Chains A and B, each alone.
Chain A
Amino acid sequence: MLSKKKAQEILADAIAASPADETEVILSGGKTFSTRFTNNYISQNGAQKEYDLTVRVAFGQQVGVASCNIFDGPELKRVVAQACEAARHSKADQDWTAVLDPVEQPEIDFAYQQGTIDYTPHDKAERLAPILKRSAERELTSAGMLVNGDQMLSIMNSKGLFAYQAWTQASFTYTAMAQRQGSAWSEFHTHDVREIEVEALAEQAMARALQARDPIAAEPGAYTVVLAPTAVLELVEFLNYLGFGGLAYSENRTYTAGKLGQQIFDPRISLIDDPFHPLTLGPGFDYEGQPKKALPLIENGVIQHMTYDRRLGAKMGVRSTGHALMPPATMGPFPTNVRLLGGDQSLDELVASTERGIYVTRLWYSNVVDPKQATVTGMTRDGTFMIEDGQLTQPLKNMRYNESLLKAFAHVEGIGNQVCSFQGYFGRLAVPALKLRNFHFTGVSAD
């Protein structure tokens, strides 16, 4: 891992090499060790090391960005020169805003767990051996990946701002497949590898895969659904993506546009962006070095806050909320550490209180049908069941859903009390299970 001191030296060298009026330099990257298994054996075992140095410079309002994955003396000078070259030949960016003044930066001291990076591929193989053996003995097929690694993000600008954060990452994703179309899933994401209970997660999925054999086709239509956290994940990802990007909001392209302060969801729905929470851990500053604070996006069903970076904030006459993405950040600012707050019922209780409905383990390949109505479509995956009289009964073939998130998050029947952490498209996110009424399935898969 590039230490704070080493990062500071590299960034200072880059700033010193820049003749631009303003310069921002970002260093990010780390190591990843991934052990992937397929058909009950380890099929791929890889180590990756990757760092990226990104330089953004401005001459007046002409801005250029260059990045490089190596930054020894000559390469460092070259990447700075490239950014300058791009800026000099560019046109003025009317919305360019001066870089941030130095400011005290939060550091999260528990984010880097040495044990996570010290966990060896050999340790992982030892850990996987019993579950792969048991899987084969039960005539199941296991596939998945056990990953550990570290990441760092550090920023310096020509006004003297400096920020650094390092953190570790570990994850276990696991698919158990039984004959006759039985399939089940479990996953766990954390900064501390010791928290991953590989055997328990695998055992749970193996039992569920056997239960999921011989699925039948259910009739499409509106159902009460109990969505496991692994299914809620995709809905919250789109709730965030379609609602809380500041740029799209300012252009009236989000479902939240014109609705700040209005209650549009069930009063139990609260979504918060918080990089300091262990389940949605991330650097406490953004790619412009703006310190973050926990930011409520939805509180008791009411749309509370939008996200801004410096460029958009200046244009809209508001302060940056610390949500700048990596330059040139053409999509504008986004929340990267969102958590949907948990409720008071266990997953079992959500099922037990359902007379008739559908249980969904995962939603898969979801995509936007209509951005303003927040309509999303996708498929169920790895274990869909009928719920009858409070019990999971008949396994079902995968189903296609088409649903407006505006309706889904207004039709809340219950919220799970266990909030699980995931790696999402824009960063970390954490969600509980949800029970929703009147959720629309429009089709069934053939297999």
Chain B
Amino acid sequence: MNEKELAQLAIDTALQMGASYADARVIRLQRESLEVRNGNVNGIKQHIEMGMGIRVLVNGAWGFAGNPDLKKSKVEIAVQRAVALAKDSAHLYHKPVELARRKAIVTSWKSPCEQEPFAVSLERKLEALFEIDQILRGVKGVALSESGFDFWKEWQIFVNSEGSAIEQEIIQTGAGFSATAVSDTDVQIRSFPSSFGGQFASAGYELIPTLDLTANAQRIAEEAVQLLSAKNCPSGEKTLILGGSQLALQVHESCGHPVEFDRVLGHEADFAGTSFLTQDKLKHFQYGSEIVNIVADATVPGGLGSFGYDDEGTPAQCSDIIRNGKFVGYLMGRETAESFGMESNGAMRAEGYNHTPIVRMTNINLLPGEHELEEMIASTKDGIWINDNRSWSIDDKRLNFQFGGELGWEIKDGKIVGMVKNPTYTGITPQFWNSCDAIANQKHYKVWGTPNCGKGQPMQVARVGHGVSYARFNNVKVGVGYAE
């Protein structure tokens, strides 16, 4: 039996055993990661996994079983297990889940990829990394150079009891490097194109040359060394300009997570937390200033959170989350949306075959505004500009946050006057976004990949994206955490 037939067998078996709805996903995942560290290969790892996840609705309650074994007999055992689990859940269930019946979708989808990364030789990949490493180590004062690539190819067939059968293949590439400088009292790091592994996108090997890694290595290494002797970020209320992966993470933590409808409904109360964006705030709450527009867009070509269909078979879409500053929409799946008379906007995703789908970010994008970056800097009297993240923390309702950046540029009277180290800032989500008075234009806009978003019990890691340019915020408390 091929994967599709096995998935269909799982569905048929579940229906025979009394399921009112069932879906099955068979997945094959291939990964490759390479890391070069201080002139040495620090690790080359290839990984392959496959398996089937089966989700059933019996007596109005869910059961899930994940199994790596794709033998026919083992698939039947997994289905029995999922059905038994659903019955155990139903035993205590007071509000049965009902899904509105949908039309079948039979189709296939592939993410854009020009150069299959697994077809590129290891020698060529290592050569590229060693070239970067050599530049980093050539800068006096660099104690640690790290560079790496990460390649990902996931094939999936989704089959459900409504007759849908959707085949998808997603190829993703990640690349980046960092330089670390160390003294007896200080450790400073600079990364490129962003911190924690670099830039990730739904793309093949063709992504790597577009990142200009070698061209930036010297500058980044020098900045790491300069940071050791730079002055500390001053404390006080200042204007803050955010760009790059720091703005992407700000959107991720303070907008992406609180608009997950399952958090609002309390499904994550025991782990990731709930949300300040309660249902009474939908379509009423002024989340940010009028220039703040945020969408959830799973259709962006190249976005790390892009796909053709989510893991319930809902087509990828672009939906409004914040429009002209007002909070207008959640990220939802079928159950969460339909229980409040809404429709899923295609945000149900699972990590691999071994997890049940939960509400997830896709690409949560802060749409570009009308400003030039230069003009945003020129009209800032007293500010700090941060692009790359070093530290992040936010409360369980997603209100009080504190972020730290790798490097800050101090702005006085419209001019960059110097570098500061340990830049940090803190705020309360809606106050912060309501203080946003400028967003840079399309020219500066880029979709950043976040490959490590954790949520759910058991914990699942999702790969999501964030389109941002630059944004400016007023009266932000900066230089926190280092004061006595």
A contact set with B: CB distance below 8 Å: 32, 34-51, 63-70, 78-79, 82-83, 85-87, 89-95, 121-122, 124-125, 128-129, 132, 141, 143-145, 147, 173-175, 177, 251-253, 257-258, 327-330, 364-373, 375, 377-379, 381, 398, 400, 402, 442-447
Bound form: Cα–Cα A286–B138 in Å = 36
A86 contact set on B, CB distance < 8 A:
44-46, 122
Asked if B237 is an interface residue, CB under 8 A from chain A, the answer is no
> Which of B66-74, B203-211, B308-316, B378-386 is the interface stretch?
B66-74
Are the C-beta atoms of B182 and A145 separated by less than 8 Å? no
Are the C-beta atoms of A369 and B391 separated by less than 8 Å? yes
> Known contacts being A65-B46, A68-B47, A369-B404, is A89 close to B393, with CB within 8 Å?
no
Bound form: Cα–Cα A328–B45 in Å = 7
Are the C-beta atoms of B399 and A447 separated by less than 8 Å? yes
Asked if B85 is an interface residue, CB under 8 A from chain A, the answer is yes
Are the C-beta atoms of B92 and A125 separated by less than 8 Å? yes
Task: Give the interface SS of chain A, mostly helix, strand, loop or mixed.
Answer: strand
Task: Give the contacting residue for A66; candidates B46, B84, B121; CB below 8 A.
Answer: B46
For B41, B92, B355, the residue with the greatest tally of chain A CB atoms inside 10 Å of its CB is B41
Are the C-beta atoms of B35 and A365 separated by less than 8 Å? no
Task: Give the contacting residue for A38; candidates B61, B266, B458, B483; CB below 8 A.
Answer: B266
Asked if B397 is an interface residue, CB under 8 A from chain A, the answer is yes
Task: Give the contacting residue for A67; candidates B37, B45, B186, B391; CB below 8 A.
Answer: B45
A-B pairs, top 7 by smallest CB distance, nearest first, are A328-B43, A89-B122, A143-B269, A69-B49, A45-B85, A42-B89, A46-B64
Bound form: Cα–Cα A372–B37 in Å = 21
For the complex formed, measure the closest distance between the CB of B236 and the CB atoms of chain A, giving whole angstroms.
14
Q: Which residue of B lies closest to A222 (CB)?
A: B484
Are the C-beta atoms of A251 and B276 separated by less than 8 Å? no
- How many positions in chain B have a CB within 8 Å of any CB in the partner chain? 83
Task: Give the contacting residue for A330; candidates B37, B47, B93, B271; CB below 8 A.
Answer: B37
Asked if B12 is an interface residue, CB under 8 A from chain A, the answer is no
Interface of chain B residues 263 through 296 with chain A (CB within 8 A): 265-267, 269-271, 273, 276
Are the C-beta atoms of A400 and B270 separated by less than 8 Å? no
Interface of chain B residues 402 through 455 with chain A (CB within 8 A): 402, 404, 422, 424, 426, 428, 431
B428 contact set on A, CB distance < 8 A:
445-446
Asked if B481 is an interface residue, CB under 8 A from chain A, the answer is yes
For the complex formed, measure the closest distance between the CB of A314 and the CB atoms of chain B, giving whole angstroms.
13
Task: Give the contacting residue for B393; candidates A36, A38, A147, A378; CB below 8 A.
Answer: A378
Q: A42-B61, A44-B457 are in contact. List 9 more A-B contacts (CB 8 A).
A: A46-B63, A50-B51, A70-B51, A128-B92, A141-B266, A175-B270, A251-B144, A328-B42, A398-B400
Q: Which residue of A lies closest to B335 (CB)?
A: A43
Bound form: Cα–Cα A93–B39 in Å = 9
Q: Which residue of A lies closest to B480 (CB)?
A: A442
Bound form: Cα–Cα A68–B44 in Å = 14
Are the C-beta atoms of B43 and A41 separated by less than 8 Å? no
A447 contact set on B, CB distance < 8 A:
276, 397, 399
Asked if B392 is an interface residue, CB under 8 A from chain A, the answer is yes
A89 contact set on B, CB distance < 8 A:
121-123, 126
Task: Give the contacting residue for B45; candidates A65, A173, A253; CB below 8 A.
Answer: A65
Q: Which residue of A lies closest to B65 (CB)?
A: A47
Bound form: Cα–Cα A131–B27 in Å = 38
> Known contacts being A86-B44, A378-B393, is A125 close to B89, with CB within 8 Å?
yes
Task: Give the contacting residue for B482; candidates A46, A50, A143, A375; CB below 8 A.
Answer: A375
Bound form: Cα–Cα A367–B48 in Å = 32
Bound form: Cα–Cα A87–B431 in Å = 53
Are the C-beta atoms of A364 and B356 separated by less than 8 Å? no
Task: Give the contacting residue for B392; candidates A43, A257, A367, A398; CB below 8 A.
Answer: A367
Bound form: Cα–Cα A43–B392 in Å = 30
Q: Which residue of B lies closest to A133 (CB)?
A: B92
Are the C-beta atoms of B46 and A39 separated by less than 8 Å? no
Are the C-beta atoms of A82 and B46 separated by less than 8 Å? yes
- Could you jot down 25 A-B contacts, CB within 8 Å? A34-B457, A34-B458, A41-B93, A42-B61, A42-B93, A44-B62, A45-B61, A46-B458, A48-B355, A50-B354, A51-B68, A66-B47, A68-B48, A69-B50, A70-B49, A85-B46, A90-B122, A125-B88, A173-B457, A364-B395, A371-B187, A378-B393, A381-B396, A398-B400, A400-B400
Bound form: Cα–Cα A381–B457 in Å = 18
Asked if B103 is an interface residue, CB under 8 A from chain A, the answer is no
Asked if B191 is an interface residue, CB under 8 A from chain A, the answer is no
Asked if B81 is an interface residue, CB under 8 A from chain A, the answer is yes
Are the C-beta atoms of A70 and B69 separated by less than 8 Å? yes
Asked if B180 is an interface residue, CB under 8 A from chain A, the answer is yes
Are the C-beta atoms of A132 and B92 separated by less than 8 Å? yes
Are the C-beta atoms of A121 and B480 separated by less than 8 Å? no
Interface of chain B residues 217 through 256 with chain A (CB within 8 A): none
Bound form: Cα–Cα A293–B285 in Å = 57
Q: Which residue of B lies closest to A71 (CB)?
A: B68
Bound form: Cα–Cα A44–B37 in Å = 42
Bound form: Cα–Cα A223–B81 in Å = 51
Task: Give the contacting residue for B426; candidates A46, A124, A442; CB below 8 A.
Answer: A442
Bound form: Cα–Cα A49–B68 in Å = 7
Bound form: Cα–Cα A365–B121 in Å = 40
For the complex formed, measure the closest distance between the CB of A311 and the CB atoms of chain B, giving whole angstroms.
10
Bound form: Cα–Cα A94–B38 in Å = 11
Asked if B135 is an interface residue, CB under 8 A from chain A, the answer is no
A377 contact set on B, CB distance < 8 A:
391, 393, 402, 481
Bound form: Cα–Cα A128–B121 in Å = 54
Task: Give the contacting residue for A48; candidates B91, B266, B354, B481; CB below 8 A.
Answer: B354
Are the C-beta atoms of A253 and B180 separated by less than 8 Å? yes
B46 contact set on A, CB distance < 8 A:
64-67, 82-83, 85-86
A446 contact set on B, CB distance < 8 A:
276, 399-400, 428, 431
Are the C-beta atoms of B51 and A69 separated by less than 8 Å? yes
Interface of chain B residues 84 through 100 with chain A (CB within 8 A): 84-86, 88-89, 91-95
Asked if B15 is an interface residue, CB under 8 A from chain A, the answer is no
> Known contacts being A36-B457, A89-B122, A365-B393, is A258 close to B89, with CB within 8 Å?
no
Are the C-beta atoms of B35 and A330 separated by less than 8 Å? yes
A94 contact set on B, CB distance < 8 A:
39-40
Bound form: Cα–Cα A67–B68 in Å = 14
Are the C-beta atoms of A143 and B458 separated by less than 8 Å? no
Asked if B9 is an interface residue, CB under 8 A from chain A, the answer is no
For the complex formed, measure the closest distance between the CB of B123 and the CB atoms of chain A, giving whole angstroms.
6
Are the C-beta atoms of A44 and B395 separated by less than 8 Å? no
Bound form: Cα–Cα A336–B84 in Å = 35
Bound form: Cα–Cα A41–B130 in Å = 54
Bound form: Cα–Cα A145–B272 in Å = 13
Are the C-beta atoms of B64 and A44 separated by less than 8 Å? yes
Q: Which residue of A lies closest to B67 (CB)?
A: A49
Asked if B82 is an interface residue, CB under 8 A from chain A, the answer is yes
> Known contacts being A46-B64, A46-B66, A330-B37, is A175 close to B269, with CB within 8 Å?
yes
Q: Which residue of A lies closest to B63 (CB)?
A: A45
> Known contacts being A141-B266, A327-B43, is A368 close to B391, with CB within 8 Å?
yes
Are the C-beta atoms of B395 and A367 separated by less than 8 Å? no
B85 contact set on A, CB distance < 8 A:
45-47, 121
A124 contact set on B, CB distance < 8 A:
88
Q: Which residue of A lies closest to B404 (CB)?
A: A369
Are the C-beta atoms of B182 and A49 separated by less than 8 Å? no
A40 contact set on B, CB distance < 8 A:
94
Bound form: Cα–Cα A47–B394 in Å = 31
A378 contact set on B, CB distance < 8 A:
393
Interface of chain B residues 337 through 386 with chain A (CB within 8 A): 354-356
> Known contacts being A40-B94, A145-B457, A372-B186, is A445 close to B47, with CB within 8 Å?
no
Task: Give the contacting residue for B424; candidates A69, A128, A369; CB below 8 A.
Answer: A369
Task: Give the contacting residue for B50; candidates A70, A251, A253, A369; CB below 8 A.
Answer: A70
